[in-house]
Amino acid sequence: MERLRGGRLIIKAGKRNGFERAFTLIELLVVISIIAILAALLLPALSRAKAKAQRVNCLSNLRQVALGFNMWSDDHGEKYPWMADVNDGGSQGMSIAANCQFLPLAGEIVTPKVLSCPGDKAVTAKATWNEFATNALMSLSYFAGICANERTPGSLLVGDRNLGSLSPLSDCTNATGMFAGGICGSTFWGKQIGIHGSVGNVAFADGSAHALSTFALQALATNSNPRTCNENHVLLPCPECVH
């Protein structure tokens, strides 16, 4: 409202007419529905991005582990731990459990965190080797390929543990006293757990790491490269089996 007072124009606010318009119930439900639709569209993409990041991180872990094994081998006459006696720092004479094959790497790898795949929900990464040694099977995501040797760069050295349908247990002529199942024509990724879905990560004796489909994995069983042992033996950890 406006009026003159003493020759001055006075502007005086009056009461507001009406009120702030609020959402109706229908409009609110429409907004909630739109948010739900957007979330349903975005969450799968975010989940796929997370899974891809975990696979990449896992491949990085395997490269570091393969490098650790090769550094250890260079200092031990081109032998991996499962090919060397425990008195020489190897794992022969210890338990044939998968975790024992990685313990000798304590002098080569700074932290055993790289032995835990970020996509493996059954394990808990350990920051120090002392922590890892106390309950290694609960912190180990990877198998040890005991047929691997440096003379065959394409031999299977280490990889994701979720393998199903291995060949029957047999002695490994590459590693005295070791016996295990091996990669064969029916082996597949995803036994009980799906760490990376239908693919798996592996590293070879040459230090390279790769994501393999089940078909590519099975092709390793017919690999014609010469080896000390051609059974593709792998020692699998099983944290679900530990209570």
pLDDT of residue 22: 64
Cβ atoms within 10 Å of 197's Cβ, excluding its own: 11
In this prediction, residue 11 carries a pLDDT of 47
Q: What are the angstrom distances between the C-alpha of 47 and each of 1, 185, 196?
A: 60, 32, 12
**Taking Cα atoms as reference points, which of 241, 230, 103, 217 lies closest to residue 171?**
230
Q: Phi and psi for 57 in degrees, rounded to 5?
A: -65, -40
Residues 104 and 90 sit within 8 Å (Cβ to Cβ): yes
Q: What is the pLDDT along the chain (243 residues), one digit of tens a residue?
A: 445 455 554 445 444 555 556 667 777 777 787 888 877 776 666 566 677 888 899 999 999 999 999 999 999 999 999 999 999 999 998 888 999 999 999 999 999 999 999 999 899 999 999 999 988 889 999 999 999 988 888 889 999 999 999 999 999 988 888 889 999 999 999 866 778 888 999 999 999 999 999 999 999 887 656 566 878 899 999 887 765
Nearest to 214 by CA among 194, 239, 229: 194
Give the pLDDT score at 13. 47
Residue 231 to residue 156: CA distance in whole angstroms: 11
C-alpha of 134 from chain center: 21
Question: For residue 201, what pLDDT is reported?
Answer: 96
**Structure token digits, residue 21:** 């318009």
Q: Measured on CA atoms in the order 168, 173, 178, 182, is the torsion positive or negative?
A: negative
Element (H, E) at 38: helix 25-74
Is pTM beyond 0.75? Reply is yes
pLDDT of residue 227: 63
26 alpha-carbon distance from chain centroid: 46
